[in-house]
């Protein structure tokens, strides 16, 4: 379980410290655990903030969200509700976003003179603009792209590929989540999960995540092997005639 101070929670969630405190005042975000004078938040708080942010993005007011979450949690174990939120909103595991300066991104790619690097990285959804610095939703993805560039792969090719890959994966994940909803959530209709249903949904989501990740990994490996064989095999085949012509005749 990750531990967050309030400023760390704000950075991980993209929610300001002021709004985190406001959500606590409204009762839709549980208070942190106190260690002396310091409030310590957990992954469950991060999951709740993601739920709140998603509902606000859909046009719900804070008052409506308060009523919804209050109705959901009344008469049930709050830890179970937060557990379900954590599993569903952190479906692929939680990678905390980071903030980086423009100069740090340029240095990461080893391209201090690339004037359009940041705009291309934004287009590829590797970074997002904030008031001062840049927000990096997936530091692992950004660093992987940077390593390819520093290894000699053209910058434009890497960023264009990352954008295409992101759109393809996003489409597949949309279909996956719709499938999850159709089989595990839609049966509840307009009724919120209650009692043991919350625990069952949490267990289902926990099983669904590693199974889906394993399937995606297997498909990725199979696809890479197929294309490596095709591309590298063709390259070697073109070289063989030239190599044979330089070989000394057998005597």
Q: What distances in angstroms separate CA 105 from CA 115, 159, 200, 218, one per listed residue?
A: 12, 13, 43, 32
C-alpha 55/C-alpha 58 separation (Å) is: 5
Query: Residue 84: which residues within 8 A CB-CB, separation 6 or more?
Result: 193, 198, 201, 202, 205
Provide block-wise average pLDDT over 10 residues at a time, the chain (251 residues).
Answer: 87 90 89 90 87 82 77 55 53 66 89 77 88 86 90 88 84 79 64 61 68 76 77 72 50 38
| Residue-level pLDDT at 91 | 45
Written out in words, the top-level CATH class of the domain with range 6-89 is mainly alpha
| Residue-level pLDDT at 19 | 93
Report domain extents, the chain. 6-89, 97-184
Burial class (CB in 10 A: 0-12, 13-18, 19+), 118: middle
Identify whether the C-beta of residue 112 lies closer than 8 Å to the C-beta of residue 150. no
Burial class (CB in 10 A: 0-12, 13-18, 19+), 41: buried
| Residue-level pLDDT at 56 | 85
| Residue-level pLDDT at 137 | 85
| Residue-level pLDDT at 7 | 92
Identify whether the C-beta of residue 111 lies closer than 8 Å to the C-beta of residue 152. no
Query: Tokens representing 147?
Result: 């390593």
| Residue-level pLDDT at 248 | 46
C-alpha 49/C-alpha 22 separation (Å) is: 12
pTM over 0.95: no
| Residue-level pLDDT at 18 | 93
């Amino acid at each position: 379980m990750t531990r967050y101070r309030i400023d760390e929670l704000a950075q991980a969630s993209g929610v300001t410290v002021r709004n985190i405190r406001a959500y606590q005042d409204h009762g839709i975000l549980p208070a942190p655990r106190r260690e002396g004078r310091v409030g310590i938040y957990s992954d469950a708080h991060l999951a709740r903030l993601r739920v709140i942010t998603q509902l606000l993005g859909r046009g719900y007011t804070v008052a409506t969200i308060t009523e919804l979450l209050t109705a959901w949690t009344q008469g049930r174990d709050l830890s179970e509700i937060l557990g379900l939120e954590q599993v569903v909103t952190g479906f692929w595991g939680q990678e905390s976003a980071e903030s980086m300066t423009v100069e740090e991104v340029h240095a990461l790619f080893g391209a201090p003179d690339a004037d359009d690097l940041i705009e291309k990285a934004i287009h590829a959804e590797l970074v997002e603009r904030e008031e001062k610095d840049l927000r990096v939703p997936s530091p692992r993805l950004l660093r992987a792209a940077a390593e390819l560039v520093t290894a000699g792969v053209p910058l434009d090719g890497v960023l264009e590929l990352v954008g295409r890959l992101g759109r393809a994966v996003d489409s597949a994940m949309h279909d996956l989540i719709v499938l999850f909803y159709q089989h595990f959530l839609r049966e509840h209709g307009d009724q919120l999960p209650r009692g043991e249903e919350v625990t069952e949904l949490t267990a289902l989501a926990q099983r669904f995540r590693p199974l889906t990740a394993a399937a995606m990994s297997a498909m990725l490996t199979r696809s890479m092997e197929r294309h490596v064989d095709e591309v590298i095999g063709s390259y070697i085949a073109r070289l063989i005639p030239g190599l044979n012509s330089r070989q000394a005749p057998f005597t």
